[in-house]
Amino acid sequence: MEIRTAAIVGAGAVGAYFIRGMQPAMGENFMVLAEGARAERLAAQGLTVNGENIPLNVKDFATAPQVDLLIISTKYTALSEVFQKVKPMVGPGTIVLTVLNGIDSEQLAADALGAEHIVYSYMVIVSARKGDTIVIDPACPARINFGELSGKETERTDALCRLFDACGISYHLSDRIVNDQWNKFAINISNNLLQAVLGVGYGAYFDSQHIGHLHRKIMDEVLQAAAAEGMEITSIPTPQDIAAPGARFSTLQDIDAGRLTETDMFLGVLLKIAERHGLQLPYCDYTYHALKALEEKNAGLFDYNH
């Protein structure tokens, strides 16, 4: 099995990592999917990643052909719409990677596109988007972790390894990908989301005993939900091991920019799991509603002066 053609949906802070490696290496066989004004802008201006401008092969969803590999790196809130748009591009042997941080995007993709196409994955990356300029933090090496749900190596995973090697994409092939996703899920909830509520740089996690206390409480609750699902969370790094003190992760970036966050992908999913198992997660519940209130604030709901 060989992957000769590939396409990506989502030229943002995560998608840029694949674009930087795959567009130059694959040329016309790699497509960036977009439509409307965004497609016109990307086609005309390309994408700038860490100061390097990359010309893009932009295709509209309506005219794009079937591909061997489809990478979906959009926002969680856009998944349902994106799945409908890419359906015609998914042929009998197409591999689909949804490189989102949550634990349910693969199931959503399987429901929409067919479970036979899905290889499980998630990203390890620290990056930020400003317009069509992306900065990937070189101090925190990016990589994709992926694997079959069965935990076995297959022709598909071998083909992905060969492709990523050829394109300079760092990766880890996992034999326990769902457990690994839960590990990343736990890190994101306890670090990414709490930071967004407080509006502080990442160094506050180890500079403040109070933020450290909240971090531990939230992590304990995530571990409760993981245990109820039969997941073993291992190798949780200490805060200092993850990022630079000034780092502002994706959820805080969304709050800063006035965008909707992906808290539904994180705490929304976790709280549904907790409800199913009869668990009470008060710190996670508070953080979820605090983020939703911040979204309302950004939308102007509390602007009482007008």
Residue 132 has pLDDT above 70, yes or no: no
Predicted pLDDT of residue 235: 55
Radius of gyration of the chain (CA): 19
Residue 114 has pLDDT above 60, yes or no: yes
Spatial CA neighbour of 126 closest among 262, 247, 22: 247
Average pLDDT, the chain: 93
| Cα distance between residue 18 and residue 69, in whole Å | 12
Provide the sign of the torsion angle of the four alpha carbons 72, 74, 80, 81, taken in this order. negative
| Cα distance between residue 184 and residue 145, in whole Å | 10
CATH number of the domain at 182-298, please? 1.10.1040.10
* Domain spans in the chain, listed from the N-terminal domain onward: 6-175, 182-298
| Cα distance between residue 193 and residue 188, in whole Å | 7
Q: Is the pTM of this model over 0.85?
A: yes
Range 6-175 classified under CATH 3.40.50.720: yes
- Span 59-84, pLDDT tens digits: 999 999 999 999 999 989 899 999 99
How large is the average pLDDT for residues 139-166? 96
| Cα distance between residue 162 and residue 22, in whole Å | 12
